[in-house]
Amino acid sequence: MESTKLLSEENKKKPGITESTLKLIAIVTMAIDHVGAGLLERMIRWYGFYTLETEEQMEKWMAVHGHLYYIDMVLRSIGRVAFPIFCFMIVEGFFHTRNRFKYAARLFMFGIISEIPFDLMLKGRMFDFGYQNVYFTLGLGLLSIWALERITSLEKLKNCHIIVKGIIMVITVAVFGVLAELMMTDYGAFGVLAISVMYVMRSFVKKATNKWIFLSGIFSLMISNPFEGFAALATPFVAKYNGERGLKLKYLFYAFYPVHLFIIYLITRMLGFWT
C-alpha cells in the first residue's frame, strides 16, 4: 500500500503550465503575426500604401483601406509574444536536452527546410538571401549559450575578476550576434542577445524566477524596437511554467513553421496579391 501511494504521488502533475502549452501559445501567436506580415501587409502594399507621397493621399488611402492597417497592427502586436517564448524554450531545452549536438542540428536543419516557404511568403520567390528565417537566429542563440557555458566553466576563468568574466561573456555573445547580422536572420543580433541574457539570468542570478528571466529577454529585444514590449502580455503564462514537458509534440512544433508559412503564401497567391 505504501509503495502504491508513493507512485501515485510521483505521477501527480505539478500545477501550472507545461512546456508544450507554452509552445502552443507561441505557435498560435506566431501564426497570427505571420497572417499580418504575410497577408495583410501584402494587401497593404498591393493597394499602394508605400507609394503615397502626400498627407492628402494618405488620408484618402486610410479612408478606403485604413481597416487593413489597423487590423495588421493588432495582429503584429499579438505576434510579439511568440519569439520571446521560443527564446525562453531554447534556454530550457539547452538544460534539458539529452543531446545538444542533435538539438542544434535540428534547429539549423529546419532553418534550411523553412527558408523557401519563408522567402515565398515575404518575397514571392523561392530564394532571397537578404533575410533569413528565425530558426537560424534560434540556432545561433543556442550556440551562443553553449559557448558561454563552456567558457565560464574553464578553470582559468574561475579565479578571474567578475569584470574580466563579464567582458569575455559579452565578447562571446557579440561574436554570435555578428554572425546573425551577417546572415541577416530574423531578429538578428538582438535575438541572440535575448537568448543569451535569459541564459545568464537563469544560470547566474539565484533568485531569478521564470517571470524575470522572460522579461529580461523582452527588455533585450526592446533595445532595438520598443514595439517588442507587447511580448510582456505572455508574462503571466511564462510565470506559471512548471518545468514539465507536457504533450509529446516535438516535431509538430518544428514542422508547423514551414507549413504555415507556405499556406499563407498560397492564400495570398490565390487571392491575387502576387503577380
Return contacts of 189-192, CB within 8 angstroms, 24+ apart.
Answer: 190/220, 190/221, 190/223, 190/224, 190/225, 191/83, 191/87, 191/134, 191/137, 191/138, 191/140, 191/141, 191/221, 192/137, 192/140, 192/141, 192/144
| pLDDT at 275 (0 to 100) | 62
A 10 A CB-CB count for 249 gives: 16
Do residues 264 and 38 make contact, with C-beta atoms less than 8 angstroms apart?
Answer: yes
| pLDDT at 164 (0 to 100) | 82
For the chain, the domains span: 17-270
| pLDDT at 7 (0 to 100) | 41
| pLDDT at 8 (0 to 100) | 46
Please state, in angstroms and rounded to a whole number, the distance separating the CA atoms of residues 273 and 268: 5
| pLDDT at 245 (0 to 100) | 87
Nearest of 220, 193, 270, 267 to residue 37 by alpha carbon: 267
Q: What is the pLDDT of residues 68-121, one digit of tens each?
A: 999 999 999 999 999 999 999 999 999 999 999 999 999 999 999 999 999 999
| pLDDT at 206 (0 to 100) | 83
Chain length of the chain: 275
Residues of the chain with pLDDT under 50: 1, 6-10
| pLDDT at 152 (0 to 100) | 85
| pLDDT at 214 (0 to 100) | 97
Cell of 81: 509574444
Largest Cα–Cα separation, the chain: 81
Cell of 150: 563552456
pTM: 0.92
Do residues 126 and 270 make contact, with C-beta atoms less than 8 angstroms apart?
Answer: no
What Å distances lie between residue 85 and 71, 91, 171, CA to CA?
23, 10, 25
Please state, in angstroms and rounded to a whole number, the distance separating the CA atoms of residues 245 and 89: 11
Unique residue bearing C-alpha cell 498591393: 46
